[in-house]
Chain A
């Protein structure tokens, strides 16, 4: 059974008088442990698709299931728990709570999960070490570079032990060196932690690191290519 199954997902919304078809009949299966890139030009539906998978948006039609759970059918509170326990998120920028240090930001999700303070602290320190920020753990986001902030976001996403990490343009605000380093880190952790990653990008150098590249255009999947880049 696939980890993620999308069946005939469509998303239509109104923009003024216009009907926008953001997604049209998306069918997709993602297996556990895959490192998937969603690529396509701006407006192709990448973010909308990630939002539907993440339970932040609902499809107009079709079903999105994570290991048999129909995400759109979850109630609001169940959807919060679903995101808290099953998913990790990395956004384009401003991922972190500005008033918390790097360590506290990583701890936050585990505290929300109800883990004890000691366990949260231990796991947070471990994941910050994995992303190479053990020396910066007391710094607040404003004292970290863009690349460091994204690495903290990756540590936060993984520390909570999710099945699937969704990353929406995680490298969009980074230079190519930092972008490459972040993707390498995500790829490495995906294998080490056996966690599935789906990330969107329109950066060709970044997408080249993916094991599977799904190309979207006008809300439709126009190609789905496996690159055989398993380590």
Chain B
């Protein structure tokens, strides 16, 4: 006789695992079908989450890398009323970049005006950038659809007037029949109250950066803007690129501190209001909200798909338990505790789920990797990309594999399949051995 104190589960667990593993393969076709169903569900979830994650990353990229930057600083009056005089003094530019490590800065100026050609005229939004600094913060100047980007001085007009090059949005170019080389007259109210006007030459047409810029945008150099607007005392917007985006919060804190210090040393005028720092999440609240929402959507979609797939698992386990009721009766008779039997059935489900997860992850990741870094190419049907939710996307759908998303999907699948296995496992526990062996 052996001692009864040894019947704790730890000694029996390896054997239960062993029997569970063998049981999975006693009906290989059924198990393979179950694994296929679960793995397919997981592949769908992995693919969907990769698509969502890719899209969100594209959105963030679009919001930060193409035109907004990670952080922007404006004065309050500019934010409230687009007050033309609410500028930062030029010395701030170099000082901020020098004092805050790990950032690049680019100044911007804005105005509205009227653009005219010999055929038509329309309201436009003028945007001035520094062609040397801007590429260190955004990729705006690389988004050329046609022509060659040039914001410098063009040759003089027939009348001998100096002309600057400008770049225009695609839809504006289409509406005004502009092509690279076209002349454009810009008329605006200058900062000194005079009517600012000038003759410009279109050097390039940009891809859609944003729906607004696409329809109304005219991009010029700061020098050209200063001549047109008679405004050389400062800049409206400071766009900032943080080299290590993971440490954006630290950069923000440093910037706030630096601005405060600078404001004390060289106070800004009262009319323009205080300096306001906003990160891309505040500047693009829709994207920020979508990032948050996507986690919930991912979970709901994953939950539904895996729940459906685990119905196959439930069916398999119910069948298996039904077929083996005599065998379970024998096991109960020879002294197997009902909780061990329950554990054995749950282990079978766990092993099925783990094998399915492995298969699903391998196929899912291989499938996604097959699309390459750019993801799904849409350039055949949408060469200019697509506009969604106020953002313009490149003509491809990036697929991004986030290990945490995959791990979450696997955990979700294992939990759901284990929950589905509770019903057959419970039936096993309730078996009457005398009845099933009769």
Contact = CB atoms under 8 A, between A and B. Distances in A.
B26 A54 contact: no
Contact of B331 (A51, A97, A117): A97
A80 B15 contact: no
A185 interface: no
Interface stretch (B107-115, B170-178, B213-221, B334-342): B334-342
A77 B390 CA distance: 66
Contacts of B2: 85, 110, 113-115, 160-161
Interface of A: 47, 51, 54, 56-57, 76-77, 80-85, 87-89, 91, 94-100, 104, 108-115, 117, 156, 160-161, 163
B118 interface: no
A56 B333 contact: yes
Per DSSP, chain B at the interface is helix
A89 B438 CA distance: 15
Interface string B329-351: 01111111110100000000000
A47 to B, nearest CB: 7
Interface stretch (B4-12, B234-242, B253-261, B307-315): B4-12
Contacts of B26: 98-99
* Tier of interface size on chain B: 20 to 34
B8 A114 contact: yes
A126 to B, nearest CB: 15
B433 interface: yes
A112 B2 CA distance: 11
B434 A114 contact: no
B338 A84 contact: no
Given A56-B434, A99-B22, A114-B8, A91 B330 contact: yes
Interface in B409-438: 433-434, 437-438
Given A80-B336, A99-B22, A111-B12, 12 more contacts: A56-B333, A82-B335, A94-B326, A104-B18, A108-B15, A111-B11, A112-B7, A112-B340, A114-B2, A114-B3, A117-B14, A161-B1
Contacts of B18: 104
B409 to A, nearest CB: 31
Nearest to B331: A97
Interface in B223-241: none
Given A85-B1, A85-B335, A100-B22, A115 B7 contact: no
A143 to B, nearest CB: 14
A84 B334 contact: yes
Given A85-B4, A98-B26, A91 B338 contact: no
A81 B4 contact: yes
Nearest to A99: B22
A94 B334 contact: no
A108 B334 contact: yes
B334 A98 contact: no
B19 A112 contact: no
6 contacts: A85-B1, A94-B326, A97-B19, A100-B22, A111-B11, A114-B3
Nearest to B324: A98
B327 interface: yes
A116 B326 CA distance: 28
A77 B334 contact: no
Nearest to B11: A114
Contact of A80 (B5, B6, B337, B434): B337
Contacts of A54: 333
Contacts of B15: 108, 111-112
A66 B257 CA distance: 85
A169 B45 CA distance: 54
Contacts of B433: 56
Contact of A114 (B12, B22, B338): B12
A215 to B, nearest CB: 22
Given A81-B4, A113-B7, A114-B7, A91 B335 contact: no
A109 B272 CA distance: 86
Nearest to A57: B434
Contacts of A111: 11-12, 15
Contacts of B12: 111-112, 114
A121 to B, nearest CB: 12
Contacts of B7: 81, 84, 112-114
B23 interface: yes
A97 B19 CA distance: 9
B338 A76 contact: yes
Contact of A109 (B23, B25, B334, B337): B334
A168 to B, nearest CB: 8
A100 B19 contact: yes
Question: Top 5 nearest A-B pairs by Cβ distance?
Answer: A114-B6, A84-B335, A99-B22, A83-B335, A56-B434
Interface in B19-39: 19, 22-23, 25-26
B335 A112 contact: yes
Contacts of B23: 99
A112 to B, nearest CB: 6
Contacts of B6: 113-115
B334 A51 contact: no
Nearest to B326: A94
A83 B19 contact: no
A45 B271 CA distance: 104
